[in-house]
Amino acid sequence: MQVKSVEFVKKAFDQGQFPSRELPEVAFAGRSNVGKSSLINALIGRKKLAPISGQPGKTKTIDFYIINEGFHLVDLPGYGFAKVSKDLKKKWGQLIESYLMDRSQLKLVVLLLDIRHEPTEDDLLMYDWLKFHQIHTVIAVTKKDKLSRGKAIQSIKKIEEIMEIEPGDMVVPFSAKTKEGKKEIWKQLNESLK
């Protein structure tokens, strides 16, 4: 897909602030610092639209971007970040769950995992939750450029085994640096948005 226009729509701190326009949506979920903002920026061909930070837990809201006036990309807060209070973790969890549960416009969730690490319990819970609620999911395995080809293949195989990826759910190795996987992820987005 050719991205002709991109616009930041809003930051939502609660469900009442979600955009009211009935546009299809693709959401990006994953642990803090897994590369959600980098993936969004790579997909839309912008360097700094979605803010990138080396500090985990930076995204505290659900951020909505409108693409080509036709659909939203949605950046969810990272989960599993240890250095925030339990109350804040609970609030983020409730915000993410209310979005995923009640958003009829949601067509696809791109679940990001870091190729250098085994999936955490939070990753497994998120994937199982998405599958239980029959939400179409693509797994983007980020930071592929950080490993050699052989180690990357081994790591992806292990991730697929641990996550017990269901048939029909695609696993896409991705690198924000080399843009590997960008076309494959766009293909999945386009199919979901039809």
Residues 6+ apart with CB under 8 A from 25: 64, 71, 72, 73, 74, 103, 105, 106, 107
How far is residue 54's CA from residue 75's CA, in Å, rounded to a whole number?
16
Report if residue 1 sits inside a domain.
no
pLDDT tens for 83-128 read: 555 665 566 678 888 899 889 999 999 999 999 999 999 999 999 9
Report if residue 45 sits inside a domain.
yes
Lowest mean pLDDT among 3-7, 76-80, 127-131, 134-138: 76-80
Q: Percent of the chain scored above 70 by pLDDT?
A: 88
Report if residue 69 sits inside a domain.
yes
Report if residue 84 sits inside a domain.
yes
Residue 112 to residues 16, 126, 147, 177, Cα–Cα distance (Å): 26, 11, 17, 16
Do 57 and 81 form a contact (C-beta atoms < 8 A)?
yes
Lowest mean pLDDT among 85-89, 141-145, 183-187: 85-89
Say how many domains are in the chain.
1
What are the b/e assignments for 122-134, b being 16+ CB within 10 Å? Answer: bbeebbeebeeee
Domain CATH for 128: 3.40.50.300
Which position has the token pair 């980020």?
A: 142
pTM: 0.90
pLDDT tens for 152-178 read: 999 999 999 999 999 889 999 999 999
Domain containing 151 equals 6-193
Which position has the token pair 């990138």?
A: 52
Coil vs helix vs strand at 132? helix
